[in-house]
A = this chain, B = another copy of it.
Amino acid sequence: MEMRRLLMPEIDEVIRQKDWKTLKGILVELESQDIAEMLEDIPYPEKVIIFRLLSKEQANETFSYMESDEQEEMLHHFSKNEIKDIINGMDPDDRNDLFDELPAGLVKKYLEFLTPDEREVAALLLNYPEHSAGHIMTTDFIELYEDITADEAINYIRKNAKESETIYISYVIGHHRELVGVVSLKDLILAKPEVIVKEIMDDNPIYVNTMDDQENVANLMKKYDFLAIPVVDSDGRLVGIVTFDDIMDIIEDENTEDFQKMAAMSPMEMPYFSLNTIKLAWNRFIWIFVLIVLESISGNIIQRYQDVLKVVVALAIFIPMITDTGGNAGTQSSTIVIRGLATGDIELKDIFRLILRELLIGILIASAIGIVAFVRAYLFHVGSLIALTVAIAILITIFVSNLTGAFLPFLFKSLKVDPAIAAGPFITTIVDITGLVIYFEVAKRLLHI
């Protein structure tokens, strides 16, 4: 159960009465994630007052769980010493998330607030490109030498537990800090105390490089069910780890990005309500604008066939049916391929196998819908010849759209463009053009115009 929901009415009452002493007692019982969520809805200056009621450890944790725009605003309300405490107390990876969102000037100022050690770590992470393993990793992990015993290792872990993000996996390094193995606390605990680490460690561990994309890191961790994965630099030296909790957030973010791209929007870095309205409107306008420009080709096509339309105005009735249905077929196949490429179910090498299959599926769907379209058009009392035109046009359109939808994401991927862009709105606009040409060409031939 989430405690906060149960307690919320009570907490609200306590805050209203400014009964900080009672509140302090309640806060101790809550999870940091819940306090962060609760603080979102509380105005200043109460927000800062309540935050100051937290113990140092709880304050650090709660701050880390807040959205970056909330963190930024909160820092403006803090004293210099409070800022120092908070940003020195943050885990390196969480701090890096915050720094990503802050203006450069502020980052520079805050870097000076850090102790020399923390500053060095912060600068290291900031230097790696966004979305790279080096940028999202933490430097707080346990490293061991291979020639100590399991018992010594456990004692070492005990002593360093506080400064490490996980104690369940330790990393074994050589004398040049190169990664030589990985050993889990489970293996250490199950081993005889006098066994040497070298003998129980996995000496061929899976790792990522600092410059690897976070999506690859996530895919590896998902595949191997890792609690954490080591990150090595270009010289093979162990510099950090990425833990599963960060990966869950990354998977969510990457999925959200794909959803946004597939709906013709640029990825938005923050939750909806944290975003500036003007920026949001601009992000959406620009894509609708691009698509309208692309779409004017459809207008040109209809204009070119205006003479056909003048003779048989009834043809206009079915323009939306042709374009929509083509768009729907293209959306289906492109989504399957885009999603398959993202999860790894479909790879570039599968292209021929997939196109072959989509050919078959296209024939099945197109024939069935062709019949439906004939019946539907006939019910409009436009005569069987126009109904036949619609049926044949929709049959060819679905077939072509389906293949276009299946093929474009592959093309984009092999051109190193994100395949997610080849989705819904984009496909719809493309297949409108082909659909209309098919429609009018079929009409011209069948109706002898």
Contacts and interface: CB of A to CB of B under 8 A. Distances in A.
Interface stretch (A17-25, A74-82, A116-124, A332-340): A332-340
Contacts of A185: 168, 185, 189
B252 A252 contact: no
A327 B323 CA distance: 12
Nearest to A303: B317
17 contacts: A33-B224, A154-B189, A158-B190, A161-B189, A185-B189, A259-B335, A263-B423, A264-B328, A271-B340, A277-B360, A281-B360, A281-B365, A292-B369, A303-B314, A306-B313, A331-B424, A424-B425
Given A2-B206, A220-B2, A324-B432, A256 B319 contact: no
Interface size class for chain A?
35 or more
Interface stretch (A8-16, A44-52, A372-380): A372-380
A207 interface: yes
Interface stretch (A98-106, A126-134, A282-290): A282-290
B256 A328 contact: no
A357 interface: yes
A408 interface: no
A55 interface: no
Interface of A: 1-3, 29, 31, 33, 154, 157-158, 161, 167-168, 185-186, 189-190, 204, 206-207, 220-225, 227, 244-245, 247-249, 251-252, 255-256, 258-260, 262-265, 271-273, 277-278, 280-281, 284-285, 287-289, 291-293, 295-296, 298-300, 302-303, 306, 309-310, 313-314, 316-321, 323-325, 327-329, 331-332, 334-336, 338-340, 343, 345-346, 350, 353-354, 357, 360-361, 364-365, 368-369, 372-373, 376, 380, 398, 423-425, 428-429, 432, 436
Given A31-B206, A161-B190, A277-B364, 12 more contacts: A168-B168, A244-B244, A244-B248, A247-B248, A258-B259, A272-B345, A299-B320, A302-B316, A302-B319, A302-B320, A306-B317, A310-B313
A316 B309 contact: yes
A281 B364 contact: yes
A384 to B, nearest CB: 16
Q: Which of A265, A278, A320, A436 has the most CB of B within 10 A?
A: A320
A249 B222 contact: yes
A369 B314 CA distance: 29
A421 to B, nearest CB: 13
A338 B265 CA distance: 14
Given A222-B252, A272-B345, A336-B272, A324 B429 contact: yes
